Structure 1
Amino acid sequence: MRNPGQFILSFLLALLYACTSFSEAGNRSRAPNIARLIRVDPSGKGDFKRIQDAINAVPSNNSELVFILVEPGTYREKIMVPADKPFVTLSGRSASTTIITGSNSGDIFGSPTVSVLASNFVGRYLTIQNTHGLGAKAVALRVSGDRVVFLACRITSHQDTLFDDVGRHYYSNCYIEGDTDFIFGNAASLFQKCHVHSVSGGGGFITAQHRASPSENTGFVFLGCTITGLTNTFLGRPWGPYSRVVFALSYMSSAILPQGWDNWGDPSKQRTVYYGQYKCYGPGANTSRRVPWSRVLIGKDVSPLLTTNMVDQQSWFRNVPSIFDEANLNSKNLVENIRCVHMS
């Protein structure tokens, strides 16, 4: 097995590649800072009343930037962004006022309220929730595209909240809530300055990372996050035998169980998982009683993770477009309003 430094370096190099590819892909569109604007307004004052109708209006094999501005409201929809519709930004004005909600359960592929299959997708200032409740798989958000970003979103359910399926993903300043395996999948993802909250009544699991072989460069990194819960919560358990999760410079409340990790009833996975912690703090961060097969990382192991250029969020996604197709503008003040929302 690679040493800790090699793992984190190779993993973050993959993330850096995603940053570069994402930027270059965006620049191959019609022009780097010009976008087609589509407005969704439930009152009927926009181009569409429903979000899915706006997504359907994006042409197949799309190659231009499309900015879908979702006005405040509660949207009771099941939304999918197909794989052949890349370069889409879906943006509310505030997560507290722009809510996408559903209540499906039973299957991780069929239950998501929102499914993102497209690459080069950006989601901003949205609440995405599945209100089904306890006791069943009820995904709020499935992310299966490559080079996907979520900024300042609220993602909530109980079991299997965030299906972080495949691809390279970046979550910044998001709130993610659930109780059982509520951040799961086999993506290569960086969670920066996110608040992760367990609502489990006891014995819940935050992560279930699915890396199946040592050749897969996937894993979850939580950097500068806040980890809280109601009571007695594990940091994670291995969905796949080579599961990889790292928490760095993050606050952990007393809800985190002292042992930290669970082997999901399979002791053989203890030899192959990679679970690490670096300079976390708070009452739940004490490593003295962690399971012996987890790792307490030191500076040389995580120095690539702490390089500003490697994790600068601006390199992960497009700036807010400053020019929109005139045919799509309903007001001369609209562009300025969009800038204000996204630069706050």
Structure 2
Amino acid sequence: MRRRTFLGMSSGLGIVATGMVPDPVRAGGPRPDLIVAADGSGDHGTVQAAVDAAPAARTEPFVIGVRPGTHLGQVIVPKTKPLLEFRGLGRRPEDVVIADDRANGTLKPDGTPWGTSGSASVTIDGAGFRAVNLTFANLFDEAAHPEITNRQAVAVLTRADRLVFDRVRFLGNQDTLYVNSSAAGVVARVYLRDSYVEGDVDFIFGRATAVFQRCRIHSLDRGSTPNGYVTAPSTDITNPYGLLFDRCRFTADAPAGTVFLGRPWHPSQDPNAIGQTVIRESWIGTHIPDLAWSDFGTWPWEDARFREFHNFGPGALVSENRPQLTAEQAAVATIEAYLTGADGWRPQRC
């Protein structure tokens, strides 16, 4: 059966899962401009109140420090609030949890469903956002709501450019991390380092250009076959860069051979959504079978941009079902190529 993570336990997640330890330099930085504390000892009692209080249209980072505890309630970072940073003030990412509990099919007060995007615990439209040393979660309980069939429940939805998640956990089941952009054809870059993402169905998805470096990607056991799909990219055909996993670990509670690495998502049957997932120099567990990719409805996986390169571990095979990058292709499928852009952005060097 499906396992849900207990928020107060490390369970081998986050920093521990990637083999990392807290970096005092990266964990430090400027003194927070505002403090969130649920017990009333900070400047604000909720994360959203701190976001609302942050000045608009800043040209320098504005740091919101979040004290340990579970902070419930939907959070929206609007486009008018760029360069915000959420910094967890605990010792580990597990110590600070920002969470909500709605799904696609959960009804709003007006009786209409929230939808997938509306289900997000945290929505980020502000460019230059950064999160450090904390956890984002969607706590929707599928077993407690059998009447809800549309169970997509997003922990974080991103639609802005130049976003960084450093030592962050993303917890959910279906559609945990939605890396998107403001519109089809618009490039939005996201960099995730030493982080942890868990889920079951399409739990990393969207059209953003997103780089996962030294992250743990963990598939939960749904108790069914197939047990799920790790990625569902919808990269626009004009964008050469979709999802890149560099030196990551793909682990699972699910049985051997029951989870696909991905399938091509075509939102609203968009023919120009030619999804890209590239996994390179990463460890892959036994939950991934020889046929690692799946069709999505009538859209065949072979037409998507799915590739691997120099992966290892018991689930890392090379066969006709597992397309590989050539050495020449791998030389340009790098973190720098995905993120740098015309503005020279290099968050991996910070």
TM-score (norm 1): 0.76
Match of 1:276 among 307, 321, 329: 307
Q: Give the secondary structure class of the aligned counterpart of 1:153.
A: strand
Q: Which amino acid aligns with 2:35?
A: R
| Residue in structure 2 matched with residue 115 of structure 1 by the alignment | 123
Structure-1 separation of matches of 2:300 and 2:249: 31
Higher Rg? 1
Structure-2 separation of matches of 1:145 and 1:192: 19
Match of 2:244 among 217, 221, 232: 221
Gap regions ≥5 residues in structure 2: 1-28, 105-114, 143-148, 182-187, 267-272
Q: Which amino acid aligns with 1:222?
A: F
| Residue in structure 1 matched with residue 216 of structure 2 by the alignment | 195
Structure-2 separation of matches of 1:265 and 1:309: 31
| Residue in structure 1 matched with residue 97 of structure 2 by the alignment | 99
Structure 1's 318 and 56: CA in aligned 2 closer, same or farther, altered over 3 A? farther
CA-to-partner distance for each residue in 1:238-272, whole Å, 9 max, x for gaps? 003511110000000000121000111325563x3
Contact 2:32/2:65 (8 A) holds in 1: no
Identity over the aligned pairs, expressed in percent? 29
Q: Give the secondary structure class of the aligned counterpart of 2:165.
A: strand
Structure-2 separation of matches of 1:162 and 1:68: 22
Match of 2:45 among 31, 45, 49: 49
Q: Which amino acid aligns with 1:234?
A: F
| Residue in structure 2 matched with residue 244 of structure 1 by the alignment | 276
Structure-2 separation of matches of 1:99 and 1:164: 20
Structure-2 separation of matches of 1:200 and 1:37: 41
Q: Give the secondary structure class of the aligned counterpart of 1:89.
A: strand
Structure-1 separation of matches of 2:300 and 2:339: 34
CA-to-partner distance for each residue in 1:23-72, whole Å, 9 max, x for gaps? xxxxxxxxxx9777111122222111111111101123233320111111
> Higher relative CO (CA 8 A, sep ≥ 6), structure 1 or 2?
1
Measured after TM superposition, the shift of residue 75 of structure 1 is 0.3
Deviates more, 1:299-308 or 1:164-173: 299-308
Q: Which amino acid aligns with 2:138?
A: N
Task: Flag as ranges the 4+ runs of structure 1 deviating above 6 A.
Answer: 33-36, 307-312
| Residue in structure 2 matched with residue 85 of structure 1 by the alignment | 81
How many aligned residue pairs are there? 281
Structure-1 separation of matches of 2:202 and 2:242: 15
CA-to-partner distance for each residue in 1:292-335, whole Å, 9 max, x for gaps? xx5212322212345889889x931796xxxxxxxxxxxxxxxx
Structure with more of its chain in helix, by fraction: 1
Counterparts of 1:190-339 in structure 2, within 5 Å, are 190-201=211-222, 202-203=225-226, 204-212=228-236, 214-229=237-252, 230-231=254-255, 232-240=258-266, 241-266=273-298, 270=302, 272-288=303-319, 291=321, 294-305=322-333, 315-316=346-347
Gap regions ≥5 residues in structure 1: 1-32, 320-344
Structure 1's 318 and 61: CA in aligned 2 closer, same or farther, altered over 3 A? farther
Q: Which amino acid aligns with 1:235?
A: L
Q: Does 1:76 align with 2:108?
A: no
Structure-1 separation of matches of 2:138 and 2:32: 30
TM-score (norm 2): 0.75
Structure-2 separation of matches of 1:309 and 1:182: 24
Structure-1 separation of matches of 2:124 and 2:289: 33
Q: Give the secondary structure class of the aligned counterpart of 1:108.
A: helix
Q: Does 1:171 align with 2:167?
A: no
Q: Does 1:183 align with 2:182?
A: no
